[in-house]
Structure 1
Amino acid sequence: MISNYFKIARRNLVRNKAFSAINMVGLGLGMACSLLILLWVQDERSVDGFHANGNRLFQIYERGYYDGKVEAAYETQGLLAEELKRVIPDVELASGLERSRTVTLEAGAKVSKADGSFAGADFFRMFSYPLVQGTPETALTTPEGVAISRKIAELFFGTPEKALGKSIRYENRDDLMVTAVFENLPANSSQQFDFLRSWKAYVKENQWVHNWSNTSPETLVQLRPGADPAKVEAKIKDFIYQYIPKTKGSRTELALQPYPEKYLNATFKNGQVDGGRIGYVRLFSLVAVFILLIACINFMNLATARSTRRAKEVGVRKVVGAVRSALIGQFMGEAVLLAFFSGILAVSLVLILLPAFNALTGKQLVLPVGQPVFWASLVALLVLTGLVSGSYPALFLSSMNPIRALKGRILSSGSGVTFFRKTLVVFQFSLSLILIVGMIVIYRQMGYIQSKNIGYDRENLLYVPLEGELVKKYNLFKEQAGQLPGIRTISRMKESPTVIGHHVGDISWVGKEPSLSVPFADAVVGFDFLKTMNLKLAEGRDFSREFGTDSLSFMVNEAAVKKIGYKNPIGQPMWWGNRQGKIIGVLKDFHFTSMHQAIEPLIVRLDENTKWGSILVRTEAGKTKEALASLEKICKELNPNFPFTYQFSDQEYAKLYNSEQVVSQLANAFAFLAIFISCLGLFGLAAFTAEQRTKEIGVRKVLGASVPSIVALLSANFLKPVAIAMLIAFPIAGYAMNRWLQGFAYQIRIEWWMFAVAGLLTVGIALLTVSFQSIKAALMNPVRSLRSE
């Protein structure tokens, strides 16, 4: 019996080649798209999930209440990790972690750039980064020690075994001893570094960490087994007030976040963790379901539309004794069989598209063909797809009255079937329209971010690391480079202007309320900073060599002036900790973080003697290549032990929105696929409808109907569901995209034309799809139409 059903299913698929092909391609594309998304979602959810102690690892974040606002951030005090471990019994291990930065390492005759950071002595005991040489207990205990990756060990010493105990020079400044070699970090680790130095070295290099009002590094803790995170969080809530006095009107709290959750949940709202990348994971999980549903709807529509073709078959089967369950099994089996063929197509498409998808998302995804779980999941997906897509056709066909079916009185255009079919078309086009509106809004927001005047000129601005001999020879470098063709101005900065992450809390001014505590972003710069960055002054002046007291002066931005309350700020006193100075300039507000955040108060001071940072170089338009060649030549002369490297400001700025750029491109691709699959089904329905109405078209032509009128008649029925879909989709899309835009402090407005473009685009594509079949039917010879059976 089963073999007979299989044979019938195969014959039906072969007999209706065009409709089988449309169904197969639609389902194949839908499943391929869903598989790609699910691979991406699985990879995103796997990040940081490999740590053995993951359920006891927590990230500390700081929540600040001041000036009627609540804000939170991961930046914490430099000594916090050690103190938490010393004072709080439930904290078993703790480590500070500074943001990774690129430095120069040297061993023997080999020199290379590497990304590294500073971490506490407990770091390798907390996180599951296996050591191939050394022990977790001693890897980061001494200021002169350094733990390096297998890749760095093989680069400099040949093998990890040979690397242990050897000397490696850091920034041509410090001679460090390799105390451990760790395995190269997996791709699904949110932390990425080639080496780690000890936290003792960080404290030694950054004396500001002893001031508990300053924040910059992150703090990570591991709780003891059985410790209650909620109780620990309550204990550490007011922890920092053991080191700084409380003030009225402001409050700073410490809180815990499970470390494995941080990668997907790193956005704060009202001082609480409130989403992040998890929003995109959920969004695209939903998109995968939507696109698969659209493909299944195509199958349902085409199967029910062609039900009259199989009405007599159903009638005969019922007359000879077939029960309804057997008929349902037959038709569901056919749907599952078609789904399996579509699955083969889907897997083939995924294998072809995966390299391009990886390039787009920056992932290293592979199809896990060697894992039985993957094949089991794929089979389950195919069966589920087949059952969903074949459910309504099977129930509808199996419910036919055998007598009416044998007499040919079952019409697929009956009101109930037609209504259901149109409902499915409305549903799938609603999903497509939501995706198209989302695509337009995301594209516009990304364009707005890239084109918005952020307060300084990103074009023709590059950053050269201030390292090695350039630290001592900066003035000579500036003098020589400033005379080169293609170079306009040069300055320096302790941090990159793209992201100023360091904050200070001990800023004071005349009239400041004792209870007010306001964290200021701070920047340490050199002469010609404003000219090099093309920043604008609201009032006052830049730092100048003509004023010997400028080393004790400050510049602030407009946001800082609003916070301070000075009506005439120039010349007014300010205090940065124990450093007293006066304001000499007010900068017009500019963005020094991503547009997800509002512009914060900023204070800037002059220091031409910092030991690290970036040299800022403004090149002339169209002469960047010439300028880079000249800069490389000077750097090789002045700093021969360091390879010449640089970053373009506009590229560094673009990195702030990597996630959004990926989402934008994925949204474009998925919106196109959704509308393509929807129109694929519409094409099949139009072809079947035109075939059904062949005699009607012939009669109309004999009676004098024109080709355009027939095309309009056939097309109108298909455009009505699209119009209804707009009424449903636009409010949903508007609400969803408004929610998405709330994640940006600076955002576009959703305007009416965005919906109009989405609607016109959808109607245009649908009209082209339907018109092809309509014109073909309208041009048919009416004599042949009337003779057709």
Structure 2
Amino acid sequence: AMGQIFVVNSTHALMQYDNKSFKVAGVYENMPVNSTQRYDCILPMASYLANKRSFSQWTVNHLRLYVQLQKDVNIDQFNAKIKNMIKENDKTVTSDAFLQPYLDMHLYSDYRNGKLVGGRIDYVRMFIIVAVFIILIASINFMNLSTARSTQRAREIGIRKAVGAHKTILIGQFMGESLLMTMFSAILALIMVILVLPPFSDLINQTLTTDLFSIEILLIFFGIAIVTGLLAGSYPAFFLSNFNPVIVLRGTFTPGSGSSQLRRVLVVFQFGLSILLIIGTLTVYEQIEYMRNKDLGIDRDNLVYMRLEGAAKRQYEAFRRELLQQPGIVGVTSTGHNPLRVTSTGTNAMWAGRDPNSEHIFHRLQANYDVVNTLDMALVHGREFSRVLL
């Protein structure tokens, strides 16, 4: 591929690459499917900016700037130095400049006024909490079942103690049984994940992949299984190993009231966690229903969209007229990006009477004619874009 010539027939909103020829100067390895930065090719930007004037303004924020720092540079000290850089070059700007570590971009991406307030890490934490609750419920259930079966194993324990079995040996046996059951459950869960992950990915229309058989993942996975087994088996092991062999062999053994009281506490705690999970599930369901039914200012029920590339984008008007001739299509328009996503903002809008020290962030959407009618937007004042005036 090195040295070959290829032609790009695509026009980006910011850069013109229509029918431009490029020579392959380098080849990079395919990026993994779980990477947030995946490209088919990387093209030069400097010579093909469609609107060079806009890139001379300090308010332009729809591009990402990557800075490679030396290893000994402190990111906080560096941010303190560049904090007022934009304000010093444009007095109308009130926002600050700061850098974010590249490794944090995927999980920590939600900023307000330059301060981190969350991101995808919130979902990770939520799922971790749910997983911990589920493991706790399963562990408590295992403890209750083990202690409830104490009368069935009492004679076995009494005989073993009578022939000289030490308490530590019995504890080791019960802990081993707990670990064996936990490891078996972990292996079964791993097999279920492998079998269920592909159809579940198809169901949610997302590519879910994870390197389950990497050393790090396996160590964490089975480490959690071992800790769970030790915690779940600890109380039953100490409880069963404390049986008095004389009382057991006489046939007068009955579980103590203390163990029954503890089982009641564990059952109440288990039900409390279950109710908490049910409430959380209902809350999430209500939030999803709210988002699905919330009035977003446009009619989404009969609205579909597609990304325009190549000839369809270059000859948009002809493509639009062809679509309008199809039965069932009542409106067609084009926008710079998905109207429901904020991808372009600015603070440099000026009007008479604006306080120069105030900051107003505008979410911008580049749109074509008929955008109001096609999206069924409710106009409070004014009119739709006019083909006569524009």
Matches within 5 A, 1:195-594: 195-201=41-47, 203-245=49-91, 251-269=94-112, 271-359=114-202, 360=204, 362-368=207-213, 380-412=223-255, 414-465=256-307, 468=310, 473-546=315-388, 548=389, 551=390
**Cα distance 1:460–1:403, how it changes in 2: closer, same or farther (>3 A)?**
same
CA distance in structure 2 between the partners assigned to 1:363 and 1:235 by the alignment = 40
Query: Offset of 1:477 from its aligned partner?
Result: 4.3
CA distance in structure 2 between the partners assigned to 1:516 and 1:482 by the alignment = 45
Q: Deviations over 1:373-426 (max 9, x none)?
A: 6665565445433322221111111112233222333323x4211111122222
Q: How many residues align?
A: 381
Match of 1:178 in 2: 24
CA distance in structure 2 between the partners assigned to 1:500 and 1:286 by the alignment = 30
Query: Offset of 1:454 from its aligned partner?
Result: 0.8
SS of the residue corresponding to residue 524 of structure 1 reads coil
CA distance in structure 2 between the partners assigned to 1:340 and 1:492 by the alignment = 55
SS of the residue corresponding to residue 343 of structure 2 reads coil
**Cα distance 1:512–1:347, how it changes in 2: closer, same or farther (>3 A)?**
closer
**Cα distance 1:283–1:367, how it changes in 2: closer, same or farther (>3 A)?**
same
Asked if the contact 2:7/2:19 (under 8 Å) is kept, the reply is no
SS of the residue corresponding to residue 254 of structure 1 reads coil
Q: Deviations over 1:336-380 (max 9, x none)?
A: 333344344334333333333444563123531xx5666655654
CA distance in structure 2 between the partners assigned to 1:367 and 1:430 by the alignment = 32
Asked if the contact 2:87/2:96 (under 8 Å) is kept, the reply is no
CA distance in structure 2 between the partners assigned to 1:467 and 1:372 by the alignment = 42
CA distance in structure 1 between the partners assigned to 2:159 and 2:307 by the alignment = 83
One-letter code aligned to 1:179:
A
Match of 1:71 in 2: none
Q: Deviations over 1:245-279 (max 9, x none)?
A: 2x5xx722111221101111111245411221112
CA distance in structure 1 between the partners assigned to 2:209 and 2:366 by the alignment = 39
Match of 1:751 in 2: none
- What is the aligned-residue RMSD (CA, Å)? 2.7
**Stretches of structure 2 lacking an aligned partner (at least 5 in a row):** 11-17
Matches within 5 A, 1:43-62: none
Asked if the contact 2:178/2:232 (under 8 Å) is kept, the reply is yes
Asked if the contact 1:354/1:366 (under 8 Å) is kept, the reply is no
Q: Percent identity?
A: 38
CA distance in structure 1 between the partners assigned to 2:221 and 2:314 by the alignment = 62
CA distance in structure 2 between the partners assigned to 1:507 and 1:375 by the alignment = 54
Q: Which moved more, 1:378-387 or 1:440-449?
A: 378-387
Asked if the contact 1:339/1:385 (under 8 Å) is kept, the reply is yes
Matches within 5 A, 1:768-783: none
**Cα distance 1:475–1:316, how it changes in 2: closer, same or farther (>3 A)?**
closer
Query: Offset of 1:452 from its aligned partner?
Result: 1.6
Query: Offset of 1:233 from its aligned partner?
Result: 0.8
Query: Offset of 1:301 from its aligned partner?
Result: 1.0
- Which of residues 194, 198, 203 is equivalent to 2:40? 194
**Cα distance 1:384–1:204, how it changes in 2: closer, same or farther (>3 A)?**
same
Asked if the contact 2:331/2:374 (under 8 Å) is kept, the reply is yes
Asked if the contact 1:165/1:177 (under 8 Å) is kept, the reply is yes
| Bigger Cα Rg | 1
**Cα distance 1:254–1:404, how it changes in 2: closer, same or farther (>3 A)?**
same
CA distance in structure 2 between the partners assigned to 1:450 and 1:531 by the alignment = 22
**Cα distance 1:524–1:540, how it changes in 2: closer, same or farther (>3 A)?**
same
CA distance in structure 2 between the partners assigned to 1:374 and 1:503 by the alignment = 40
Query: Offset of 1:443 from its aligned partner?
Result: 1.5
Q: Deviations over 1:4-41 (max 9, x none)?
A: xxxxxxxxxxxxxxxxxxxxxxxxxxxxxxxxxxxxxx
SS of the residue corresponding to residue 392 of structure 1 reads helix
**Stretches of structure 1 lacking an aligned partner (at least 5 in a row):** 1-159, 552-789
SS of the residue corresponding to residue 491 of structure 1 reads coil
CA distance in structure 2 between the partners assigned to 1:458 and 1:473 by the alignment = 26
Q: Deviations over 1:615-640 (max 9, x none)?
A: xxxxxxxxxxxxxxxxxxxxxxxxxx
**Cα distance 1:373–1:180, how it changes in 2: closer, same or farther (>3 A)?**
closer
**Cα distance 1:480–1:183, how it changes in 2: closer, same or farther (>3 A)?**
same
**Cα distance 1:483–1:255, how it changes in 2: closer, same or farther (>3 A)?**
same
**Cα distance 1:299–1:521, how it changes in 2: closer, same or farther (>3 A)?**
closer
Asked if the contact 1:358/1:365 (under 8 Å) is kept, the reply is no
**Cα distance 1:498–1:188, how it changes in 2: closer, same or farther (>3 A)?**
same
Structure with the bigger percentage of strand: 1
SS of the residue corresponding to residue 523 of structure 1 reads coil
Match of 2:14 in 1: none
Q: Deviations over 1:122-179 (max 9, x none)?
A: xxxxxxxxxxxxxxxxxxxxxxxxxxxxxxxxxxxxxx34xx3313233253223322
Q: Deviations over 1:50-100 (max 9, x none)?
A: xxxxxxxxxxxxxxxxxxxxxxxxxxxxxxxxxxxxxxxxxxxxxxxxxxx
